[in-house]
Structure 1
Amino acid sequence: MENEQVLSSLLGEVKGAIIHGYADVKVKNIILDSRKVLPGSLFVALRGTQVDGHQFIHTAAELGATAILCEELPENVREDVTYVEVEDSAAAMGLIAAAFYGHPSKKVKLVGVTGTNGKTSVATFLFQLFRALGYRCGLLSTVQNQIEDEVIPSTHTTPDAVALNALLVQMAARKCSHVFMEVSSHSVAQHRITGLHFAGGIFTNITHDHLDFHKTFDNYIKAKKGFFDALPKSAFALINIDDRRGNVMVQNTKARIETYSLQTLATFKGKIISDTLAGMHMEINSQEVWFRVIGRFNAYNLLAVYGAAVLLGEKEEAVLTELSNLKSPPGRFEQFHSADHIVGIVDYAHTPDALENVLETITHLRQGNEQVITVVGCGGNRDAEKRPKMAEIACRYSNRVILTSDNPRFEDPMDILDQMRKGVPPLDYKKTTVIEDRHEAILKAGLEAAPGDIILIAGKGHENYQDVKGVKHHFDDKEVLMEVFAKRAGN
């Protein structure tokens, strides 16, 4: 997209910026990777977790950058380059990117969803619901970014501020009226959403996760809360008040606070009447509805979606009618059935709380002597504290447990599995097996199951790869499960 802006016009909302050079230079694009700089680029020097962009300021200038955004001037400044010195490059970049692209988030109704678990489901359900209600919509999620029917693969829960605004421009150009977006704690802490205008924010829950990045649970909570702190007065803040930190999230928000709950009085109150593998019967604000999705965790998701839709001005009856037809997003409690009546469930559960939610749901759905076989692993180079907890939870709810590799990344898979094994209670040693190869682990679970048994394959969900030493190898839990079912059927 051809776009050219005067530098000074992009700095209107950036406080405390010091300009060294000419403020009226033209900016053709905003670049974070010095290797991609072209004549006319504004290069942003970001301090990342792995690399400091300030090391590449000279390279960017050599390649023709018109301007450099940085927190610290280089030793040798060039007269043909304008340097913009700011306190925080990432925060300034968010504001500059929004201005460069003409504030596209103000041209749509942008709703953000944050929390440890449920973000993808709530954002995807909202996208599906509003399309069913006749609107043109955009989706920004872990699974994929989507403009109407066009799927744009995603690499992070939330893209960087430049990519995000560029996507929102496309969505606005395609006449999308609503955009639903997962907002990760990383994206708040790293200012990827700075400069965006939200019509509403939703809080699902908060549990132990991402301490590899945030270091402390308090920092993690502050990052989530930062999203609500920044919401404008015109927005709504919809919170799950059954989570004890729900009210903490909105302590300092200017937005209108609304609530949802299964346990207490709330703006949007739900009650589960019955829950089976076939579907869930619920009461929402005194109206009874049958849903295709199942599980207590999905009851919360549905309440969040219903509440947000009503707060966006939709009629309650129309919302409930369309919600009753929705299916789970890929890899979220996704069910598969073998010819001999084994139930396979593929779920993205990769936190202790998410795994417990899924296994609790399976426990409630059991009707007889079905055995529950859980295949689970933990990702490498991520929060290691949750590894023994994940194994303990799997053992507590399952008849048999197979600990296996997930995305080991740059760690030794057996080191991860050894840490998981520390969480296995001594009484559960006999029912727990360690198989490093994930394909072999799923195969074992599938071939040893008896008719009627339930196999949970947790941790990867929608992902179709395994990340090993920086290389993504094709791997899909669902494909392996189908392979097992075919073997059982003798095909």
Structure 2
Amino acid sequence: MSVLKDILYKVNMKAVTGDTGVTVNDIHFDSRKVKLNDVFVAIRGSISDGHDFIKNAENQGALAIVCEEIPKETINGVTYIEVEDTKKALAYISANYYDNPSEKLKLVGVTGTNGKTTIATLLYDLFTKAGYKCGLLSTVKVMVGSEEHTAIRTTPDSITINSYLKDMNDAGVEFCFMEVSSHGIDQHRTTALKFKGGIFTNLSHDHLDYHKDFAEYRDVKKRFFDELPSSAFALTNADDKNGAVMLQNTKAKKYTYALKSYADYKAQILENNFTGLLLKIDEQELWTRLIGNFNAYNILAIYAAADLLGLQTLEILRIISELNSVSGRFQYVISKKEKITAIVDYAHTPDALKNVLETINSIRTKNEELITVVGCGGDRDATKRPKMGHIASALSSKVIFTSDNPRTEDPEKIIADVEAGVEPQNFKKTMSVTNRKQAIKTACQMAGPNDIILIAGKGHETYQEVNGERIDFDDLKIVNEFLKQLDK
């Protein structure tokens, strides 16, 4: 139970009709969840407009309505608050309702195109192993201490975020590591949160179905750093040309990490193979089970963040050497008989796919073939599809184009878009098998001794999304079953 005027603290109100001294029960932006004495916040979305459901919320007993336009017909006893932006208002209302939980722990946000999940999860693992009670808000899962919850999206809505953070407060969590997506920033889901630090990984082609162009995508990411307080740190990848852009207007203390450029935190790759990486970080050698150049950046980022958060250097290095790869990120299995290596990776952007393929090519001896199984999601940025086709066919020995999460699109049309990027000299390398399970089976049947199969795009996901339905589907489980059949 909260007093309405208390949860409206920092909300920019244009007009108020009714009493703000009333006691409200709960807050919702979905009118179907509204009960007696709740607050309903009307959000304008891409598919529906919450303002169309104000009447529903009133009928279900809403005591207060937060909206961008007060309805012509109002109800006696209901308080109406008109604001400029209900998404922003929801962020402050949610934080206030849960007693601003982000202020009671050290919250670190990770943003960028690739590496968010790995960095946030590894930081959670590192600090947990160091003896701290930690929280995690990621694409793969939500952790409140050791208690696991299912993640719905990369950056949840403001109510959900603050609800989890309040649970973390109650559980005695000291550090929380959180993925921050461009959608989340743009929709003000992180606006009212107090961050101790922000980490920028890299920026490449993604989400241009949502953002009108790359500049807008970049500027939305930058806004996260612009809003960091002076008490926070801003840590960015100096090898990415957008790293410097992120730091331009931030009030936070600025730090950089890099493999190639001058930076506050530097690393050098000494060895890179299928068993892991040998790195030199700040003149200290470190062995990690994680594989590939892109993971060298991820390891360096968590090393830098842990240092900025006060952990001792030798302790950081010791724990990093014990960390395992994150679910669906360069996970691999090797068949016993034929020694076929199958790698499952979430690479679903051109840059991520290029990184994974270049990593595999830098490690393999070239005596074995690299067979890639890849597709693109439906109802998402279609402009990246030909790029994915071009990269996969240029950097693999053979490619099987297949279905990813087609959602409401025709999977064969998506595959045709991907195939459009294949250059003539690579046509013979490619084939299409629409059924993903059959595509994985085909790759296993095509593979010879010591060959490598990359299954890209879905990573940790244990479902396939087809016409609004989620069907059980786990790339790692399926390829493992087919490889075991070959071993018989």
Counterpart Cα distance in 2 of 1:270 and 1:291 = 13
What's the CA shift string for 1:397-450, capped at 9, x where partnerless?
A: 100000000000000001101111101111111110011000000000011100
Counterpart Cα distance in 2 of 1:99 and 1:480 = 46
What's the CA shift string for 1:165-187, capped at 9, x where partnerless?
A: 00000011111100000000000
Counterpart Cα distance in 1 of 2:279 and 2:103 = 35
Aligned to 2:243: 246
1:135 to 132, 136, 139: 132
Q: How many residues of Structure 1 are paired with residues of Structure 2 in the alignment? A: 487
Task: Work out whether 1:230 is the aligned partner of 2:227.
Answer: yes
TM-score by length of 2: 0.99
Aligned to 1:435: 433
Aligned to 1:125: 122
Task: Work out whether 1:262 is the aligned partner of 2:259.
Answer: yes
Counterpart Cα distance in 2 of 1:31 and 1:10 = 13
1:44-443 mapped onto 2 (5 Å cutoff):
44-339=41-336, 340-443=338-441
Counterpart Cα distance in 2 of 1:85 and 1:264 = 49
CA RMSD of aligned residues (A): 0.7
**Amino acid of the residue matched to residue 349 of structure 2?**
T
Task: Work out whether 1:469 is the aligned partner of 2:467.
Answer: yes
Counterpart Cα distance in 2 of 1:20 and 1:322 = 56
**Amino acid of the residue matched to residue 156 of structure 2?**
P
Counterpart Cα distance in 2 of 1:26 and 1:229 = 35
TM-superposed deviation, 1:203: 0.1
Counterpart Cα distance in 2 of 1:10 and 1:18 = 16
What's the CA shift string for 1:123-150, capped at 9, x where partnerless?
A: 0000000001000001000001112222
**Amino acid of the residue matched to residue 387 of structure 1?**
R
Percent same amino acid among aligned pairs? 51
TM-superposed deviation, 1:17: 4.0
TM-superposed deviation, 1:48: 0.5
CA contact (8 A) 2:378 2:406 kept: yes
**Amino acid of the residue matched to residue 71 of structure 1?**
E
Aligned to 2:457: 459
Counterpart Cα distance in 1 of 2:485 and 2:386 = 33
Task: Work out whether 1:19 is the aligned partner of 2:19.
Answer: no
CA contact (8 A) 2:108 2:178 kept: yes
CA contact (8 A) 2:350 2:388 kept: yes
Which segment is superposed worse, 365-374 or 104-113? 365-374
Counterpart Cα distance in 2 of 1:287 and 1:67 = 58
CA contact (8 A) 2:238 2:262 kept: no
**Amino acid of the residue matched to residue 454 of structure 1?**
I
Gaps of 5+ in 1: none
Counterpart Cα distance in 2 of 1:368 and 1:80 = 75
SS in 2 for 1:123: helix
Counterpart Cα distance in 2 of 1:355 and 1:368 = 19
Counterpart Cα distance in 2 of 1:113 and 1:458 = 23
What's the CA shift string for 1:19-76, capped at 9, x where partnerless?
A: 1111101111111111110011100100001000000001101110000010011120
Counterpart Cα distance in 1 of 2:399 and 2:131 = 45
Which segment is superposed worse, 423-432 or 232-241? 423-432
SS in 1 for 2:269: strand
TM-superposed deviation, 1:16: 3.5
Counterpart Cα distance in 2 of 1:11 and 1:88 = 13
SS in 1 for 2:21: coil
TM-superposed deviation, 1:79: 1.5
